[in-house]
């Protein structure tokens, strides 16, 4: 299996001619052009192409050399919106096919609905197909929020079947960490594989004086281990009466009430716009992500960009973005006692929090910037085209 997992390639200057024509598919929903426009701007430095998604608005805008196309949802039923989106995408693929354009690379953010659609587009265009994997789909804890054991098993089997079909037909696969496909899919030896981080807009997060606040952001509730974090904080709260825990995420207040938890030092908020999340992160002293399953954890990079110390679980891809004892603290998942000890250590030591925050901020600037992502992605596309050309010859 061709693979590169060494030092990141050096960032490259903007090219006068595009490296390739990208046909990017991102299964929605998207709620704001701000979700996608910065990625188009970044990729436009090296590529031409089009970026397709769907959501709560209609968009057709040229951003640099990338055309952003968003199809507005016409229904409250998600699968109907996807089929409507897929019809538009395939109509555009037929138009593009008539131009006989060369060096097209079709990309998908996932190996499921988006992957199936991208594979179909790639075949019509005789183009290379690059599939990203942004979850740990072979880990049962990825379905920790699904209460019925039978349904968890069905979901896992369903994702394995579709994921196997898509990924084994991809020319290249981008993973977040080395063992991400364990218990999920075995790729053919000929598949090109690269490991690098998901694009994160770290420039949207900023430092501010810390308050005695622990922030945790994410959804679903059980997969993110919010129940474990709450239990640990409730145990510590009597010793740290001037500290607060702020939980942010879709349905978090509802899930917390379902657990019967009401605490004067805990604030639960539904999902918020990224600008508001950035404000909370800038105010906090500690950012926590204690997931049961996590492919990477963008919020950990966002917290580091704001110069905040981080505590997280030692699962899946999290150790690729948090180094224990250097720029944060790692604990075992589902271990309330270890989490209590880690939190207490950070809550007691302002100098340690500052040291971890500075180290994380420096590392994000060096290793996880948008420019570094562009260098990785450009190398992946170039290698994919080279391998496809070689196979044709």
Distance CA 192, CA 56 (A): 35
% residues pLDDT > 90 (the chain): 86
Tell me, what's the pLDDT at 12? Answer: 52
Tell me, what's the pLDDT at 392? Answer: 60
The residue extents of the domains of the chain are 3-196+370-392, 202-367
> Pick from 277, 319, 265: which is nearest to 294 by CA?
319
Which band of pLDDT confidence, cut at 50, 70 and 90, is reported for residue 10? low
Task: Kindly tell me if the per-residue pLDDT of 6 is higher than 80.
Answer: no
Matching residue, tokens 């899930």: 255
How close are the terminal C-alpha atoms of the chain, in Å? 20
* CATH 3.40.50.2000 is the classification of domain 3-196+370-392: yes
2 within 8 A of 370, measured Cβ to Cβ: no
Asked if the peptide bond before residue 220 counts as cis, ω within 30 degrees of 0, the response is yes
Chain segment 154-210, per-residue pLDDT in tens: 888 999 999 999 999 999 999 999 999 999 999 999 999 999 999 999 999 999 999
Tell me, what's the pLDDT at 114? Answer: 97
Quick one: tokens of 306?
Answer: 């704001």
Size of the chain in residues: 393
Which band of pLDDT confidence, cut at 50, 70 and 90, is reported for residue 11? low
Chain segment 256-294, per-residue pLDDT in tens: 999 899 999 999 999 898 999 999 999 999 999 999 999
> Pick from 8, 85, 13: which is nearest to 53 by CA?
85
Could you please report the per-residue DSSP string of 60-127?
EEEETTEEEEEEEP-SS-HHHHHHHHHHHHHHHHHHHHTTT--SEEEEESSSSHHHHHHHHHHHHHT-
Helix axis angle, 113-125 to 149-167, nearest 10°: 10
Query: What's the pTM?
Result: 0.91
% residues pLDDT > 70 (the chain): 95
Chain segment 311-336, per-residue pLDDT in tens: 999 999 999 999 999 999 999 999 99
CATH superfamily of 202-367: Glycogen Phosphorylase B; (3.40.50.2000)
Of residues 391 and 329, more confidently modeled:
329
């Amino acid at each position: 299996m061709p693979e590169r997992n060494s030092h990141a390639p050096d960032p490259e200057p903007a090219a006068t001619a595009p490296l390739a024509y990208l046909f990017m598919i991102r299964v929605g929903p998207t709620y704001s052009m701000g979700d996608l426009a910065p990625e188009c701007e970044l990729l436009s430095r090296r590529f031409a192409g089009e970026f397709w998604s769907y959501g709560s608005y209609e968009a057709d805008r040229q951003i640099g050399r990338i055309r952003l196309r968003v199809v507005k949802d016409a229904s409250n039923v998600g699968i109907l919106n996807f089929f409507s989106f897929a019809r538009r995408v395939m109509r555009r693929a037929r138009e593009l096919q008539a131009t006989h354009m060369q060096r097209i690379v079709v990309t998908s953010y996932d190996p499921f609905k988006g992957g199936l659609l991208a594979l179909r587009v790639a075949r019509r265009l005789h183009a290379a197909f690059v599939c990203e994997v942004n979850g740990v789909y072979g880990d049962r804890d990825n379905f920790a929020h699904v209460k019925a054991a039978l349904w968890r098993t069905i979901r896992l089997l369903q994702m394995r079947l579709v994921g196997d079909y898509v990924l084994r037909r991809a020319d290249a696969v981008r993973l977040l960490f080395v063992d991400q496909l364990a218990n999920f899919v075995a790729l053919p030896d000929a598949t090109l594989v690269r490991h690098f981080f998901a694009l994160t807009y770290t420039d949207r997060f900023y430092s501010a004086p810390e308050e005695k606040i622990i922030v945790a952001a994410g959804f679903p509730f059980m997969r993110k281990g919010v129940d474990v974090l709450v239990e640990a904080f409730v145990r510590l709260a009597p010793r740290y009466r001037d500290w607060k825990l702020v939980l942010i995420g879709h349905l978090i207040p509802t899930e917390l009430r379902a657990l019967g938890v009401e605490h004067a030092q805990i604030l639960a908020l539904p999902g918020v716009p990224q600008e508001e999340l950035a404000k909370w992160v800038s105010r906090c002293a500690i950012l926590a992500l204690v997931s049961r399953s996590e492919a990477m954890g963008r919020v950990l990079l966002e917290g580091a960009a704001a110069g905040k110390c981080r505590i997280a679980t030692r699962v899946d891809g999290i150790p690729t973005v948090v180094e224990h004892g250097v720029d944060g603290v790692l604990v075992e998942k589902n271990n309330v006692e270890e989490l209590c000890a880690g939190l207490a250590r950070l809550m007691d030591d302002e100098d340690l929090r500052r040291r971890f925050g500075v180290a994380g901020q420096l590392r994000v600037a060096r290793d996880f910037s948008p420019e570094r992502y562009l260098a990785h992605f450009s190398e992946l596309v170039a290698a994919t085209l080279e391998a496809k050309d070689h196979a044709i010859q």
